[in-house]
Amino acid sequence: MTSLYSRPKENHRLTVGYSYYEEPDRLLKQIDCWNLWPANVDIFIVDDGSKHYPANDIIKDLKFEDWQPTLQLWKVTRDLGFNSHGCRNLVAKFAQTDVIQFCDMDMFFHGADIARIKSTIVEPTDIMHHRLYRTFSQTHAEHPGHYNCFTIHKDLFWKAGGYDESFTGHHYGDREFLDRIYAVEGTRKCKSEVTMTLDRKGRHGSVTDGLEHNIYTPGEDEFFLAAADINEVKKLVGTKTKRLDFPFIRILDL
């Protein structure tokens, strides 16, 4: 009898990519969700240089059954202040599926939602957005929901050039990359029937003199220390062309 489940990642249908930084409570909440996700899905976590609460300390003893997803953990070995975009480039480079769902640590999907995304045909020209539910305000938003949460085919991701790592150390760059994706000839902006749940408001930067990069305090959900004004950060666009321009290692494969 043919098994419905596959542990080898080359047979998977979907990769769900996260960047993680010093948020153990949210990682534990994510694990509660992942335990109810279907098989043939690979969870790809990149720890963006955590020193106090590294992701490996939290998930090293995690076990998944055959009917559950698989997981791999990578780590950026230097704390660069904010390297989420580089982390997403890393996911897109090493994911073993053509289709990737990108999430932040404050974004949650139920098992049925992931099963639906997994069963959706995503063509090489496609980016797919989802509806959004905000728990903190109990409000619902139609597509595109949260711009930083989307499903995309790897071909389109790299055809658009990947995230611009010129913004490393600064909290900026999501919309800039999406604009490049939308500008690729033939891009299809698709709408899913899935709703993603967001459990906090966006954090705001307080510009602080003397910083080389942004600083995020563990447990602080509202503010971070910003190294530069947003108008100055925008000027960095395109000043770095290399992708994956940071040190990283692979830590765990479940």
Domain 9-202+244-253 matching CATH 3.90.550.10: the answer reads yes
Positive or negative: CA dihedral 195, 199, 201, 206: negative
pLDDT digit string (tens) for 165-195? 988 777 777 889 999 999 999 999 999 999 9
Distances (CA, A) of 88 to 4, 7, 123, 128, 215: 29, 23, 20, 16, 20
Backbone angles phi, psi at 80, to 5 degrees: -95, 5
Res. 2: pLDDT tops 50: no
pLDDT digit string (tens) for 228-252? 667 777 787 888 889 999 999 999 9
pLDDT of residue 1: 34
pTM of the shown model: 0.90
